[in-house]
Amino acid sequence: MLLIPCPWCGHRDESEFTCGGEAHIQRPADPAALDDADWADYVFMRTNPKGRHRERWCHSHGCGRWFNVERHTLTHDIVAVYRMGETPPDHGEADGT
Amino acid sequence: MTGQPYRLPAGGMIDRRRPVNFSFNGRRLTGFSGDTLASALLANGVHLVGRSFKYHRPRGILSAGTEEPNALVQLESGNRSVPNLKATRIELYEGLTATSVNCWPGVRFDAGALIDAAHRLVPAGFYYKTFMWPRGGWHFYERWIRRMAGMGRAPTGPDPDRYERMNAHCDVLVVGAGPAGMAAAQAAGRSGARVILADERSQPGGSLLNMAANGSEIEPDWSSGVAAELDSMKNVRVLSRTTVTGYFDHNFVIALEQVTDHLGSNAPVHLPRQRLWRIRAGRVVLATGALERPMVFANNDRPGVMLAGAARAYANRFSVLPGRRAVVVTNNDSAYEAALELHAHGMAVAAILDHRGLVDGNAVRGAREAGLDVLPGHAIVDTGGRRRVRAAAVAKIDHDGTLAGPTRTLACDLILMSGGWSPAVHLFSQSGGRLRYDAALAAFLPDHPRQSVRCAGAINGAAETTSCMREGRSAGLDEEPAPEASSTSPKPPVQRQVFARYRAGEARSFVDFQNDVTAADITLAAREGYESVEHLKRYTTLGMGTDQGKTGNVPGLAILAGTLGSPVPAVGTTTFRPPYEPVTFGAIAGRDIGALADPVRQTPMHAWHEKAGAVFEDVGQWKRPFYYPRPGENKRTAVARESLAVRNAVGIMDVTTLGKILICGPDSVEFLNRVYTNAWDSLAVGRCRYGLMLGEDGMVLDDGVTANLSPNRLLMTTTTGNAARVLSWLEDWLQTEWPDLDVYLTSLTEQFATIALAGPGARQVLAGLVDDIDVAPAAFPFMAWRAGRVAGLPARVFRISYSGEVAYEISVPAGHGMDLWMAVLQQRSGYEVTPFGTEAMHVLRAEKGYPMIGQETDGTVTPLDLGMQWILSSKKDFLGRRSLRRSAMLDPSRKRLVGLRTEDPEAVVPEGAQILPTPPSGPPETMIGHVTSSYWSATLRRSIALALVMGGRERESHTVHIPLDHGTLRAEICDPRFYDPEGIRLRG
Ligand SMILES: [Zn+2]
């Protein structure tokens, strides 16, 4: 049961949140221009690192806001929390470190 | 003293002025307040308490605590009964009733023991090897195996007791109230931190409780002094009878408090039986101590074979001598202290056999000075006796355990063993911490922590009370431990236990007592290639009992390592998983049972539906009227009457539960263009439009009608079950992908009550209820909405239809829902208005061939599969659009929506039935689709069905075959629009 610092509400129990999977997946500007493989990559393919991972969380039973969490998938350490649209804090490679 | 022949004349922490009567297997016995069931049984000379799981061998009491694998009992009877409780953990109370588990007809003669006689036929993996033949045979054998192998019985009725959950936060959680834990809690408490100290026993003290008052190197009243100080600190909460069972991420810890279990039927009614604590701790101090290990020798499971430390606890804490004459076998010094203290209490010690060839040190010298016979380099090779040990066969062994001398027999009624100590690293391991193997202690110790956790005391391998206290203090303050003063008595080495060299006895040398795993099972498994400890565990079931192998795991690993010729750390250890101790389902459920298990959502008209005798359907948490049976009606006749009323007159339905989302902001139309498949630019104020929503994978997510209320304000409806999901979906896109869109979403689902009025008379009924809305078809066409007053109530009226008839949905503020409902029922248009439920609605829409979300769709169905190309805009992008062009989505063999007409018009196909292109000829069949909806249509006087079939309408007019339990139905594939395909009626 993680303890997640919501950027608006502070530390709350994981049960108040919904995880939205990998962050920073940009919807292609012109989907029609993509071939099947590239489109499928956007829709289905996600990284699954052992290590630091940037993901989207929503405080669904609280303020209802989406934000980003950088979490270590092995230790569950929450390395950083930042709002939508903010640049992720730079401390080296996010994946697999 | 009467009837307690093994009770010592004085001492212990029992209250001799308060005798306690109890019953075990029907025998009436007496113990004292302060006893456990185990100590009271031992005081009465009862050692045989159960039968083993697999071989039904007689078993006694091995331990004095939570690690007990043998002495499992069924406590009480009826619905309060709890199976498989450890007698060593049950506090005695007046009137307690317990019975042995796992034996039939009784513990002294058990029919299952015949298995033991044939034990050579039941080696490791026996079930896997034997009962897989013939194919499917397992199902036949399983019933018998389960009956023979079953342990206690779970009650069948509802639990009459009350349970609670409690959330708590603290700066420091200390687990275990032994010397280390008490010192930690004291230091942390004095520093001002908020502290919780949890301990499974009824009083603090830990191992100090088990030692002789003069046997410890600290002041005798140290623990009571600290306990009093902790009680006086407002920032410290001491939870006794509280077992920490789970250690999860971010220092989230679960503990079970047994609030009134020790009071039996005397428990005050205002208290729960158990309370589950959910604790979030800043730091955790684990002072969980260590568990003594048994020795592995032939017939080491006889009643009367006990851990040395347990016997010490029974004598000192409970004032019970578990026997008159003991043989002690050990590989470390702790058993000498136990032997000396028991000897001082008057127990004869036949010999102390030490696996170590060379022994010296204070403990050994002390034993020799007391006149005890110490035999270095000796082992027990077998035991004698039937339901109680009567003798030990002992022999000299050399350094690798090979027999090195003749066997001789020592008479005894008790064998005390100590195979060293396993630190209780379970919670540390659950927390993600790494373990290391310490060869000198022959034990796994905490190594690298992953969370904010410190270990203190015997869990770290500390042997002396003073070091435990010192470690506890520094852990409580999160300081570096003070350098240890050079100890006067260097740590006695524990030689690696010598196992499994007595081949003849291996088959009866038990390692895991609860699961009846022997040394031979482990060596056999290793020979068969189960060399990984994880495979070994699953193949032999080593450590898979309710005790999770607290006593047997390390000896088992050592035997595996010995067989493979590798060191123990190379073999490794299995993962420790929660719970450390079993937790009752009652405590997990807490108060979330019965009516409180899940919230119930009711519409403002619910009371009317109930009074009308509605049968309800659960849709999410909503209660929706399914149908309203009248006297003499069943589901089919009621639904037929309701649907005919809609087709021929007027029906009224409560559709309040449909999701309603208010969409505001200048970019609202652009937003709808992106999330719906069709175009929204041309939707004028006063008009509504049907929309279909897809996931990015192109699969249908939801549908509903959206009305343009006023510039930049639209009201979207969703299906009942998807309301919350759709709102989150829309919020997700707005917040994360399109923050540039100026759009705001608000759920209005519970703000409005809505009724649907449907049928050829709907317009006339509505006309009688309004005076400021022109209901003429030209003024109020299909897919328009009007604001006005209905029955004098402020309302919005939407002309939309899901039944294929002229229909209106009328929304009023939720508080007026019942007023509106009653006004419609009582109107005087000349039409009788018939309430109809969801099932009639399902039939009506199926007659029209309208797919229903969640019925025709299951997350793998695209709009193309539903034949809804008409709703896909070609002029704009929308969510999921690109996916519809993926080659797999265009495969002509995809399952697509069709109608089905059974050859026999009376036959209603079960939903979910598989569809074959040819008559069934035996498996494997070619399956081309399945039935998604199926009903009796009173309107068409025949059955109708919708189905998803490969190739879809390409197969129209083909005959398909639907195999059922009793015969096969034939049906023809047809247009799914069974009724009014042109839609003339709904536009009328
Ligand atoms: Zn929040």
HEC profile of B619-677:
ECCEEEEEECCCCCCCHHHHHHHHHHHHHHCEEEEECCCCEEEEEECCCHHHHHHHHEC
DSSP B736-786: II-TTS--EEEE-TTTEEEEEEESTTHHHHHHTTBSSS--STTTS-TTBEE
Which residue, B559, B505, B494, is CA-closest to B395?
B505
Taking residues B324-348, report their average pLDDT.
95
Q: Pick from A43, A58, A60: which is nearest to B697 by CB?
A: A43
CB contact under 8 A, B696 and A65: no
Residues of chain A contacting residue B251, judged by C-beta atoms under 8 Å apart: 3
Ion ligand 1, residue ranges at CB < 5 A: A 6, 8-9, 59, 62-63
Mean pLDDT of B498-509: 62
**Which is it for the CA torsion B330, B334, B335, B336, positive or negative?**
positive
Q: Which residues of A3-32 are buried (b: 16+ CB within 10 A; e: fewer)?
A: ebebbeeeebbbebbeebebbebeeeeebe
Given this structure, which CATH class describes domain A3-83? alpha beta
B891: left (phi over 0), alpha (psi -120 to 50) or beta: beta
Question: Among residues of chain B, what percentage have pLDDT more than 70?
Answer: 92
Which pLDDT score, from 0 to 100, does residue B489 have?
A: 45
- Please tell me the distance between residue A64's alpha carbon and the centre of ligand 1 in angstroms: 6
Interval A74-92: pLDDT, tens:
999 999 999 998 988 876 5
B434: tokens are 């790494």
Does residue B486 have a pLDDT over 50? no
Task: Return the residue in B882, B887, B890 with the most chain A beta carbons within 10 A, the one to mutate for interface testing.
Answer: B882
Tell me the shortest Cα–Cα distance from A49 to chain B, in angstroms: 18
Which chain A residues are Cβ-neighbours of B882 within 8 angstroms? 31-32, 34, 39
Structure token pair of residue B941: 């006087």
- CB-based contact B882 A40, cutoff 8 Å: no
Lowest mean pLDDT among B143-152, B470-479, B894-903, B962-971: B143-152
Nearest-angstrom CA–CA distance, B773 and B788: 6
Q: How far is residue A88's CA from residue B937's CA, in Å, rounded to a whole number?
A: 59
Cβ–Cβ of A1/B728 closer than 8 Å? no
Chosen from A76, A81, A83 to mutate, greatest number of chain B CBs within 10 A: A76
Mutation target vs A (from B735, B872, B883; most A CBs, 10 A cutoff)? B735
Rounded to a whole number, what is the distance in Å from the CA of B869 to chain A's nearest CA? 18
Residue of chain B nearest A45, judged by CA positions: B697
Please confirm whether the linkage preceding B105 is cis (ω < 30° from 0).
yes
Residue B483 makes CB contacts below 8 A (sequence gap 6+) with: none
pLDDT for A96: 41
pLDDT averaged over every residue in chain B: 92
* CA B352, chain centre distance (Å): 46
Return the structure tokens found at B428: 């540390």
Q: Could you tell me which of B239, B227, B223 has the C-alpha nearest to residue B281?
A: B239
Distance from CA of B676 to the nearest CA of A (A): 16
What is the Å distance from ligand 1's center to A12 Cα? 8
Return d(Cα B406, Cα B633) in angstroms, integer: 88
Which pairing describes strands B650-654 and B700-710: parallel, antiparallel, or unpaired?
unpaired
- What is the residue type of B719? T
Give the 3-state secondary structure of residue B368.
helix
Local confidence band at B110 (pLDDT 50, 70, 90 cut-offs):
low
Which residues of B make CB contacts under 8 Å with A?
248-252, 280, 432, 450, 696-697, 728, 731-732, 735-737, 739, 877, 881-883, 885-887
Across A52-66, B48-62, B154-168, B788-802, least confident range:
B48-62
Pairing between strand B785-790 and B700-710?
Answer: unpaired
Q: What is the pTM of this model?
A: 0.90
3-class SS letters over B244-306: EEEEEHHHEEEEEECCCHHHHHHCCCCCCCEEEEEEEEEEEEECCCEEECCCCCECCCCCCEE
Q: Distance from the CA of B171 to the center of ligand 1, in angstroms?
A: 23
**Which of A84-93, B630-639, B688-697, B819-828 is predicted with the least confidence, judged by mean pLDDT?**
A84-93
Using a CB-CB distance cutoff of 8 angstroms, which residues of chain A are in contact with residue B886? 36, 39-40
Give B136's pLDDT tier (boundaries 50, 70, 90).
low
How far apart, in whole angstroms, are the C-alpha atoms of residue B64 and residue B609? 60
pLDDT of residue B149: 52
How remote is the CA of residue A41 from the centroid of ligand 1, in Å? Answer: 31
Q: Determine the Cα–Cα distance for residues B879 and B695; give it in Å rounded to an integer.
A: 6
Measured on CA atoms in the order B26, B29, B34, B37, is the torsion positive or negative? negative
DSSP run (H or E) holding B526: helix B519-527
Q: Find the largest Cα–Cα distance for chain B.
A: 114
Task: Encode pLDDT of B666-717 as tens digits.
Answer: 999 999 999 999 999 999 999 999 999 999 999 999 999 999 999 999 999 9
Nearest chain B alpha carbon to A55: B736
- When comparing pLDDT for B487 and B359, which is higher? B359
B702 C-alpha to ligand 1 centroid (Å):
27
Enclosing H/E stretch for B334: helix B334-344
Tell me how far the alpha carbon of residue B743 is from its chain's centroid: 42
- How many Å apart are CA A26 and CA A23, to the nearest integer? 9
Cβ-Cβ pairs closer than 8 A, A with B, add up to 55
Contact B64, B310 (CB under 8 A): yes
* Partners of residue A20 in chain B, C-beta under 8 Å: 732, 736
Q: How many angstroms does the Cα of residue B736 sit away from the middle of ligand 1?
A: 15
| Cβ atoms of B782 and B670 closer than 8 Å | no
* Torsions phi, psi for B93 (to 5 deg): -140, 160
Asked whether B525 and B543 are in contact (CB, 8 A), the reply is no
Chain B residue nearest residue A73, CA to CA: B249
Q: Which residues of A touch B739 (CB under 8 A)?
A: 84-85
In this structure, chain B runs to a length of: 988
Domains along the sequence of chain B with CATH: 1-158 (3.10.20.440), 161-292+420-482+580-597 (3.50.50.60), 295-418 (3.50.50.60), 501-566 (1.10.10), 606-657+751-844 (3.30.1360.120), 659-747 (3.30.70.1400), 891-987 (2.40.30.110)
ipTM: 0.95
Interface of A with B (CB under 8 A): 1-3, 13, 18, 20, 27, 30-32, 34, 36, 39-40, 42-44, 56, 58, 60, 64-66, 75-76, 84-85
Residue range B253-261: mean pLDDT, rounded: 97
B250 vs A1, A32, A84: nearest CB: A1
Please say if the pLDDT value at position B150 is more than 70: no
Across the range B548-570, mean pLDDT stands at: 88
End-to-end CA distance of chain B: 96
Greater confidence (B130 vs B679) lies with B679
Among B8-22, B47-61, B642-656, B712-726, the minimum mean pLDDT is found in B47-61
The tens-digit pLDDT sequence of chain A (97 residues) is: 999 999 999 999 999 999 999 999 999 999 999 999 999 999 999 999 999 999 999 999 999 999 999 999 999 999 999 999 898 887 655 444 3
Residue B725 has pLDDT above 90, yes or no: yes
Q: Which of B249, B732, B886 sits opposite A39 (nearest CB)?
A: B886
CA distance A77 to chain B (A): 8
Work out the pLDDT band at B359, boundaries 50, 70, 90. Answer: confident
Share of chain B above pLDDT 90, in %: 79
CB contacts of B885 in chain A (<8 Å) are 36
Residues of chain B found within 8 Å of residue A2, distances taken between Cβ atoms: 249-250
Take residue B553 and report the two structure tokens written for it. 């795991």
Report pLDDT for B126.
58
In A, which residues are within 8 Å of B699 by CB distance?
none
- For residues B104-121, give the mean pLDDT: 63
In angstroms, the Cα distances linking B542 to B427, B550, B574, B803 are 20, 11, 10, 62
**Burial status of residue A92 (CB atoms within 10 A of its CB: 0-12, 13-18, 19 or more):** exposed
Instruction: Inform me whether the pLDDT recorded for B125 exceeds 80.
Output: no
B150 to each of A90, B54, B60, B552, how far by Cα in Å? 58, 9, 18, 21
Tell me how far apart the alpha carbons of residues B701 and B698 are, in angstroms, rounded to a whole number. Answer: 9
Distance of CA B199 to the CA centre of its chain: 24
Contact B708, B732 (CB under 8 A): no
Q: In chain A, what residues touch B732 (CB-CB under 8 Å)?
A: 20, 58, 66
Please report, for chain A, the start and end positions of each structural domain, with discontinuous segments joined by +. 3-83
